[in-house]
Every structure is written in structure tokens, then in C-alpha cells.
Amino acid sequence: MPDRPDPVDLLRSMLLIRKFEEALAFQPDRGFQLLSSGEEAVAVGVCAALDDRDQLLSSGRSIGPALARGIEPHLVMAELLGKISGPNRGKGGRGHLASPDDGFFGAHAVVGGNLSIAAGVSLAAQLEGRGAVVACIFGDGACGAGALHETLNIAALWKLPLIFVCDNNGFSISTPVARGVAAERLSDLAIPFGIPRRTVDGMDVFAVYEAAREFADVARRGDGPGFLECRSERFASHSTSTRETRSNEELAAARERCPILHLGARLEADGTLDAAGRSALEKDVEELVSRAIRFSGEAPRPSPDDALSDVV
Amino acid sequence: MSSRRLFFNEAIARALAEEMEREDKLVVLGQDVGAYGGAYKEFAGLYERFGAQRVRDTPVAEAATIGIALGAAAAGLRTLVSITYMDFLILGLEPLVNYAAKARYKTGGAVRVPAVVKTTAGAKGQGVAHAQCIESWLMGVPGLKVVAPSNPADAYGLLKTSLREEGPVVFVDHKRLFSTAGEVPETNEVSMPLGKAAIVRPGTDVTLAAHSYAVRIAVEAAERLEPAGVSCEVIDLRTLAPLDVESIGESVARTRALVTLEEGQPACGVGSEVAFRVRERLDVGIRVARVAARPAPVSSNAVLEAEVLPDAARVVETTLTLLEGR
Amino acid sequence: MIFTLVVPGPIEDVEEIRVLEWHGEPGRRFAPGDVVVELETHKAIVEIRAAQAGILRRILHPEGSWQRLGEPLAILSDAESEPLPATPELGGKEWAVEFQIT
């Protein structure tokens, strides 16, 4: 792993998530989806701190994490659209997308449900002794769940190589975090367990990367877990079929903090990526997305018989 | 085949020791499983032999403990997680039912969870939340296997098989079984498949189907019914999911009468599932009755506990009523 | 007089025990309070102590063997020379013991 990731790669990765989701939204048979738009920097920053040995787990908001981890976009799209060419033969969908061979151990669409599973994956990694770490992205809603507190406790006791990544987008569907969790700063929940913690701007991909990298280094050394709270914004409602509860003004303010906008402007300003470079990047990403749409459009749906396969 | 007499808990410890010896990736987790050796000494000797890395005491956190065991199994280990009382398994049903049971399916085969959740059911004076037999809840979860042995040889054989399965297995033992003894084969081979019931007492007039500790009650009832001229065939279900409907059906096809017996609740119980599946299978008329706990919690009060739990007398009475006017 | 040492009880939950260790060979004279034999249940050791004097004459169940509660484990007598009954299981009155579960 390079000491510092190439900022253009990070921008590309975030752009891919954004454009992928825009294209997905246009698919008439896209079904029920939870989008990562606005929260790209969390997944991309965390994944920049992971290497091939590592595993990532996510909540049901899995599209950003799966793409950031490097699963081929056309395979992700096929899975989301219920095609057998997806990594899970269309059975998992967004809520349960998994591709352990790509370092994405999987999504688990039960709030807080991925935490203890991730701790188990990190226990396996610890016993294997190859220095692998596990990152688990969960929402602010999970911070009220017993699963988090039980898992923090065991992870601390056993010094598990596990990074707790709280993607705090401010809402559990309609409930603002201030009414869902008593702690003012969610990373403070790690304090009683003696777990090192950071709260960072989840719209700044480098801030996320640097904190995640620090915790990954600690975990790799055998010094146990870390808790990283990333304060982010979701640009749409909870899901594609959930009512928006915020005003237009609130949404506009959230979009002002767009991680792609900010990194793009910075790279342009410091001369890393000029207008021509940027448009080439966008074109690359659009081609990937077009291919994903084409591939998944042509891919077959499962046969009804598949409903009864891989059960036991 | 030579055999050795062991207590039920010793049969469990022996099966685990042999499997841990054979498979380096097998890890045991749970409350008091380490130096203490388990609430019923069913893990005795493992900590001393395999060490703290592989025999891990856990905090009182059933939900996370089960999730960790299942996640670790999904990621390449094999795990056995001990939940002291089955009542507390309820705390960990989320990872078990929503994650492990569905992992293979929902990932299209990319993830398997080779884990055993071992837990102890049954009433023995400890009250309403330390007494329940809720194995029937789990029988309807696609992707879960449920095993409930009644004797040391089966505990040994079925646990060894369960520890080599590719998917999650719930292994249910019973508080009143640990002190029972029986012959256990000396072989280290795995030869007891899941999904096979056993006829523990042949008979011709009625089939008594039971599992776990209730098998002993069924045998006692059969012994009491013999002088009354009723010949009972006692079937030990051994595995509840998958259920060996073929063997039970074959027995009931001969006896034309079925009494199911369980310590859990009658509604949506093991017995109702057994009876329905047998009826679906057979095209002959059969008589069916069930004996289960009475529909009430099981108190720690001995008088109340005894009233709620099924016993041989109720099995005898139910059987005689069923066979009346034969 | 001839006596029979039986597995004492009741012991909660226990139907059957395994003989762990005899404290003495046939011919040994036990005084009240002496440990005669240790038995194993599924989770405890039961230490059997003499509650009366007696000479161990015959061990019916060696170490590692199993016996049910209330069933005979050994034959004892007051005097060394007393003849043993032909079927030792039926011999004599129950020898008085105390037991402690640890």
C-alpha cells in the first residue's frame, strides 16, 4: 500500500459511486435501494486505508462501500438489479451484497447486525496472524443498539483488529441523531472501553483516510480496535421509497458540503487535475457505469428454481 | 465395536477434544467454558489441553458472542459457541437467524457458516427464564439444522457430525441429561449422520416420538404400558431439522397410532410438526395425540414445575385414551 | 457380622456413579472417619467415610467401574475370620457410612 493514496484515485472512486447511483436511479426495475450519495468520502477514505488482506463489512447502505472496495461496478449493478451474474447470484441484493474474495465480506441489512459479525471476522484474522484488519461501517442509528456496546467490550478485551466506522449521516430514517443517541459525540461511546477514538469530517476524504489509516496501523500492530466517527450528509432520503423529512434549504446546505465538489476544486486549484484531466476522468467513470448498465441489462434473472438452492 | 461408559457431559467433552485435536481451526467460545470447564463440566479439560486462544471465556453478552462465533466461522474458522441456557439463545437469534442461517443463500454460496451453537434446554428448578425448550422455534428457519440427543452415544456422535457440517447447527442438550451415563463407542470416526431417527424400543400398537430428555420419559411410559397389553414403539427423533419423517412414517404406518412427546409447548411444537408431516406422508388413517408442557411458564416452585412438565403418567393416560375402542 | 457397603444417597441428580479410588485393599481395617472410597458423579467427587469400624473383605466394583445408587460396592466384616456369603451381593446389613460431595 502506498504511504498516501493518489488523490485522483480517491476522486475517481467517489465519482464512480455518485454516477453509478445516478444511473441506478434511472433503472425502472431498480427496486428498493439505500444510496450512498453524499457519503462517498466515508467508504472511499476507509478503503484507502485497507489492503488486500483486509475485509470490509457494511450496513445495508452498501453501494458506496462495495464500489470503494473495488468490486467491479458491472457485478455490483447486476447484483442490485437481481441478476444471476452478481457476486451473490442476485440473491443478496443491496442489503446483503458480499464478495469476500474482493475484501468486501458483506453487507448485513439489520442495523447494528454487522458489528458482531465483523468482530468475528476480525477474530479469525487475529488468529490467522497475517496482520489483516477488518473495518465495519455502520450508521448512527446503530449507536443506540446493544450490539455496538457488547461488541466494543469484547473487541477491547480481546484487542481485536477491528475499526468501528460510524458513518454518522445525522438521521435514522426520520429520527435526528440527537434524539436517537444520548451521547453528543458518537465516538465518545468508545471511551469506557478504553478504545482510541476520533471524530472527523466525513465529507473530507483525506480526513477519513488519515484517521482510518492510523487505526489500521494500530490494529495491524496488535494493539486493538479503534472507533472512527465520520460526520457525513446523505443527499437523498433514507431509501428510494422513504419520504424526505428535510426542507429544501436543509438539503441544499447538505449538498454544499459535497465531498466530490470539494476535492475536485482542491485538485484543480493546486494543479493536480486540470479541466481536461477532470473531463477525462469523468468520461472513464461514465464508461464504467455504462458498461455496468449494459452488462446488467443483458444478464439473466434467476430461474424460479433458484429460490430453493443454496438453502442448507 | 468396543465401547466405554461415559457420563453425558463427558461424551460432549470427548467429542470436542477429538475434533479440536483433528481440526486446528476449531475454536470454542462461551461463558465459563475455560478453566471452569463449563456450567455442567461439559468442556472439562479443553482449556488445559488447547489453551485460552481456542477455548475462550466470553462476557455475559450472548448476542455479540453468537455473532462473533458466526462471523469467525464465516471467515474461515470453525466455532462452537456455548449458550448456557436456551432461554438466553433468544438474545442471540438475530445473528443466528438473520445472518448465519441465511448466509449461504443470501451470498449465492459465497459464504458458509460452519458453526455449532450448543445450548442447554429443560426445566430443573431454576424457574421461568432458565427452563424453556424452544427448539421448535428454530425448526422453521431455513438454513438451520437442529440436533437434540437423548443419550451419551448420540451426544458424542451427533456433536462430532455437527462440528464437521458446512452450515450452522443448533445442538440442544438438557439439564437432566448430563448426569446420565451410557456406552459410547471407542472409535474416533464420524458415523452418525444428522436427520436420522432411531427406534429405541420396538413395538406394535403405538409409536411414541420424542427427543432429548423426553425420550427417557417415553421409554418409562412404554414400560408401564406393557403390562396393560400395549406395545409401544419409541422413536428418538435425534435431529429435529432435518426431521426423519421417513422413519417415523414407517413406524406409524405399522402401528397406525402416534403419540408425540416433548417438554416444550404444544402450540407449533415439535409434536405438531411431526404429526402433520407423518399425516401428509401416509395414505392410511392414523390416530394422533400429543403430550407436551402445559400452556404455562415453568416455575422454580417444585409443585408448579411438576404440574406443567410432561411425565410418564400423562403419556400413559394419553396413549390409553388414544387407543380406546381400537 | 457381615456388612455391605452400598452407594449412598440420595445425591441430587445422580442415578449412577463411577468408582474413582479405593483407599485400601481387602484386609484393611477402617476406623470411623477413615476415607474408604471416592466416587465420581458427572460433576463432583463423593468421598465415602466409615461411620463404623470394619474390615474390607471384598471389593465388588474396582476403580473405573459403574454402579447405581443404593447398589453394593464392597463387603466388610467385624472380624477377619468371618466366612463370606456365597453370593456376596446378598451379604449382610448395610455398613454405616458418611459421605461428602465436593
Q: Tell me: the pLDDT tens digits for A122-165? A: 999 999 999 999 999 999 999 999 999 999 999 999 999 999 99
pLDDT at A100 (0 to 100):
98
Element housing C67 (H / E): strand C66-68
Pair B77, B27: CB distance under 8 Å: yes
Residue B108: closest CA among A65, A90, A72: A90
pLDDT at C88 (0 to 100):
58
The structural domains of chain B, with segments of one domain joined by +, span 3-185, 198-323
Instruction: Determine how many CB atoms are found less than 10 A away from the CB of residue A194.
Output: 11
Q: How many CA atoms lie within 13 A of A288 on its CB side?
A: 23
pLDDT band at C81 (very low <50, low <70, confident <90, very high): confident
Q: Do C15 and B41 touch (CB under 8 A)?
A: no
B151 contact C CB<8A: no
pLDDT in tens, C21-56: 999 999 999 999 999 999 999 999 999 999 999 999
pLDDT at C90 (0 to 100):
63
Active site residue B48: no
A233 within domain boundaries = yes
Chains A and C are in contact, defined as 3 or more C-beta pairs closer than 8 angstroms: no
Q: How many helices (H) and strands (E) does chain A have?
A: 12, 8
C18 contact B CB<8A: yes
Q: Do A123 and B59 touch (CB under 8 A)?
A: no
Query: For residue A187, what are the domain limits?
Result: 7-294
Beta strands (DSSP E) in chain A are 55-58, 104-107, 134-139, 162-168, 171-172, 175-176, 197-201, 226-231
Q: What is the rounded radius of gyration, in angstroms, for the C-alpha atoms of chain C?
A: 13
Q: ipTM of this model?
A: 0.96
pLDDT at B191 (0 to 100):
82
Q: How far apart are CA C77 and CA C29, in angstroms?
A: 9
pLDDT at B186 (0 to 100):
84
Amino acid at A283: K
Domain count, chain C: 1
Ordered DSSP codes for B9-29: HHHHHHHHHHHHHH-TTEEEE
A60 within domain boundaries = yes
Q: How far apart are CA A259 and CA A232, in angstroms?
A: 9
pLDDT at A66 (0 to 100):
98
C13 contact B CB<8A: yes
User: What's the mean pLDDT when you consider all of chain A?
Assistant: 96
Topology of domain B198-323, CATH: Rossmann fold (3.40.50)
pLDDT in tens, A241-278: 899 999 999 999 999 999 999 999 999 999 999 999 99
Instruction: Enumerate the residues of chain C whose CB falls inside 8 A of the CB of residue B181.
Output: 15-16, 18, 42, 66
A312 contact B CB<8A: yes
**In the predicted structure, residue C91 carries a pLDDT above the cut 70:** no
Residue C39: closest CA among C51, C22, C25: C22
**In the predicted structure, residue C92 carries a pLDDT above the cut 90:** no
A301 within domain boundaries = no
Query: Running along chain B, 326 residues long, what does each successive block of 10 average in pLDDT?
Result: 94 98 98 97 98 98 98 98 98 98 98 98 96 98 98 98 98 97 88 96 98 98 98 98 98 98 98 98 96 97 97 98 91
Q: Do B94 and A310 touch (CB under 8 A)?
A: no
Active site residue B18: no
Q: Which CATH number covers residue A86?
A: 3.40.50.970
Pair B179, C42: CB distance under 8 Å: yes
CB neighbour burial string for B270-304, b if at least 16 within 10 angstroms, e if fewer: bbbbbbeebbeebeeebbbbbbbbeeebbbeeeeb
Q: Is the peptide bond before B242 cis (omega within 30 degrees of 0)?
A: yes
Per-residue pLDDT of chain A (312 residues; tens, 9 = 90+): 557 899 999 999 999 999 999 999 999 989 999 999 999 999 999 999 999 999 999 999 999 999 999 999 999 999 999 999 999 999 999 999 999 999 999 999 999 999 999 999 999 999 999 999 999 999 999 999 999 999 999 999 999 999 999 999 999 999 999 999 999 999 999 999 999 999 999 999 999 999 999 999 999 999 999 999 999 999 999 999 899 999 999 999 999 999 999 999 999 999 999 999 999 999 999 999 999 999 999 999 999 999 999 999
pLDDT at B1 (0 to 100):
75
Phi, psi of B125 (to 5 degrees): 80, 10
Q: Which CATH number covers residue C65?
A: 2.40.50.100
Q: How many CA atoms lie within 13 A of C66 on its CB side?
A: 15
Pair B299, B305: CB distance under 8 Å: yes
Instruction: Enumerate the residues of chain C whose CB falls inside 8 A of the CB of residue B40.
Output: 42-43
CA angle A206, A211, A213 (to 5 degrees): 90
A22 within domain boundaries = yes
Q: Do B40 and C16 touch (CB under 8 A)?
A: no
Query: For residue C20, what are the domain limits?
Result: 2-101
Q: How far apart are CA A104 and CA A108, in angstroms?
A: 12
Mention the CATH class of domain B3-185. alpha beta
Grid cell listed for B271: 409434536
pLDDT band at C89 (very low <50, low <70, confident <90, very high): low
Instruction: Determine how many CB atoms are found less than 10 A away from the CB of residue B177.
Output: 28
